[in-house]
Each structure stands twice: as structure tokens, then as C-alpha cells.
């Protein structure tokens, strides 16, 4: 099992490590994510903002959330890889506060992670759209988890070479002083062409797989 888990980590594939409990978990209230905090309209980040982001991110990645974030895979999993070693993940759930599934009277639980913790890792700011911040938009250094999952050119079952190329190129830009944040819409627009192209490929693969299963003599 340990070898399998290491292989999944090497490939950047999201997975769960669960433990059993006989006690059902209490429902936890969800609060709105504050991310890296509120910023004024037309916020334009400077190097001090990026340094503050790194500090806040690393604080999350050294907290009890670290293994749960790493197991999410995708962009947050790749960012976490820089700080959280495999050993910290393979020990199994530390506090088991999220229900994964049930089997009879047994509850399978894993370590949960808040939306706010994920937003901090992705570097999400709340930007004022109106005076006083009654209406806000979100801008981030990296794609938010949900936005990444919808970006079919990079998101998938495992961390791809294309995803790594994107990650390294953006890191290099940060190091060279290219400091920019984007809204979810702007992130999607940057990958719009690739998403349309790869969607046709994925849809075609799904269709061929469905036809193979439907016509397979082994299933008749």
C-alpha cells in the first residue's frame, strides 16, 4: 500500500487515505473564505505582496492542513510539493474530520481542508468592486482549485508535463519581477483555445470507449 501511495504522489494523482471510526462526525459550519484578504479596486501587486503570499502559503503548508492539500493534487498539490515531503502524507489521517464514505455502521474519514486554506495556497485576494467592499471579485497568483479542475488542458488524473511547463514558466516570471494576478474569468480566457481543442479529443475518446464497452463480447 505504501508503494502504491508513493506512486500516486509521484504522478500527482489525487487520492484519499482513510481510517475507520464508529462515531458519526458532527456537521461543521462553513464560513466564507477570506483568502489573502481584501484589496482595493484596481489592485496591482508588488514584490512585497508576493513575499507576503509566500509567507502565508507556507504557514498553511506547515499546519495540520498540509497533507490534505498535498492529496488534492492539481495545482495546489504541486505547490505543496515544494514544502510537504512524502513522509508527511503517508502516515495517514492526522485528525480525520471529513467523512469520505460509510460501510455499515463504520465511517471512513480523512483529513479535511477548508476553502480558505486552499485559497491561501493559490494566492487568492478579494478585490473591491464597489466602495466599501460590499461586492468583491477574486484574483489570484495561481488558479483556484475549482478553476484548475475545469481547465482540461492541464487538469486530469495526473500532473502532466504540460502542467509542469506552465508551473515553471510562471515561477520564472515571478522571479523576474513579472507580478500579475488574474480573475477566474481571465484564467479561463488564457486557456480558452487549448480547452476547446482538448475537449474535442476528450469527447472523442469517451465516445470510442463507450462504443467499445457496448460492443464488447466479454460483457454480452
DSSP code of residue 25: P
Q: Which of 160, 157, 78, 156 is nearest to 122 (CA)?
A: 78
Return the SS3 of 213. Answer: helix
Task: Please write the tens of the pLDDT for every residue from 14-38.
Answer: 888 888 888 777 766 677 889 999 9
Instruction: For residue 43, give the C-alpha cell.
Output: 489592485
- Range of lowest pLDDT (3-12, 49-58, 171-180): 3-12
Q: What's the average model confidence in pLDDT over 178-190?
A: 91
Rounded to whole angstroms, the Cα distance separating 213 from 131 reads: 57
Mean pLDDT of the chain: 85
pLDDT for res 30: 74
Can you give the residue ranges of every domain in the chain? 2-219
Instruction: For residue 98, give the C-alpha cell.
Output: 471529513
Q: What's the average model confidence in pLDDT over 105-111?
A: 88
- Who has greater pLDDT, 72 or 134? 72
Rounded to whole angstroms, the Cα distance separating 84 from 70 reads: 7
DSSP code of residue 140: E
- Who has greater pLDDT, 28 or 5? 5
Strands 106-110 and 19-21: antiparallel
Provide the pLDDT confidence category of residue 220 given band limits of 50, 70 and 90.
Answer: very low
For residue 99, report the phi and psi dihedrals to the nearest 5 degrees. Answer: -80, 125
Q: Which of 80, 97, 98, 79 is nearest to 89 (CA)?
A: 80
Provide the pLDDT confidence category of residue 206 given band limits of 50, 70 and 90.
Answer: low
Place of cell 480573475: 183
Q: What's the average model confidence in pLDDT over 90-100?
A: 85
Q: What's the average model confidence in pLDDT over 117-137?
A: 89
- Who has greater pLDDT, 89 or 77? 77
Extended strands (E) in 45-113: 98-103, 106-110
Amino acid at each position: 500500500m505504501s508503494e502504491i501511495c508513493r506512486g500516486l504522489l509521484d504522478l500527482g494523482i489525487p487520492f484519499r487515505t482513510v481510517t475507520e471510526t464508529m462515531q458519526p462526525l458532527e456537521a461543521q459550519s462553513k464560513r466564507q473564505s477570506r483568502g489573502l484578504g481584501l484589496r482595493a479596486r484596481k489592485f496591482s501587486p508588488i514584490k512585497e505582496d508576493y513575499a507576503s503570499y509566500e509567507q502565508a502559503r507556507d504557514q498553511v503548508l506547515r499546519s495540520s492542513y498540509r497533507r490534505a492539500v498535498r492529496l488534492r493534487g492539481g495545482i495546489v498539490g504541486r505547490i505543496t510539493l515544494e514544502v510537504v515531503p512524502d513522509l508527511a502524507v503517508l502516515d495517514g489521517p492526522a485528525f480525520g474530520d471529513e467523512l469520505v464514505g460509510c460501510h455499515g455502521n463504520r465511517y471512513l474519514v480523512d483529513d479535511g481542508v477548508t476553502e480558505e486554506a486552499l485559497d491561501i495556497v493559490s494566492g487568492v485576494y478579494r478585490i473591491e468592486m464597489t466602495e466599501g467592499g460590499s461586492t468583491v471579485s477574486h484574483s489570484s497568483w495561481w488558479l483556484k482549485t475549482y478553476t484548475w479542475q475545469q481547465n482540461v488542458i492541464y487538469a486530469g488524473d495526473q500532473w502532466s508535463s504540460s502542467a509542469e511547463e506552465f508551473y515553471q514558466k510562471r515561477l520564472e516570471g515571478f522571479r523576474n519581477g513579472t507580478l500579475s494576478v488574474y480573475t477566474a474569468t481571465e484564467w479561463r480566457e488564457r486557456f480558452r483555445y487549448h480547452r476547446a481543442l482538448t475537449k474535442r479529443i476528450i469527447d472523442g475518446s469517451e465516445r470510442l470507449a463507450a462504443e467499445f464497452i457496448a460492443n464488447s463480447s466479454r460483457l454480452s
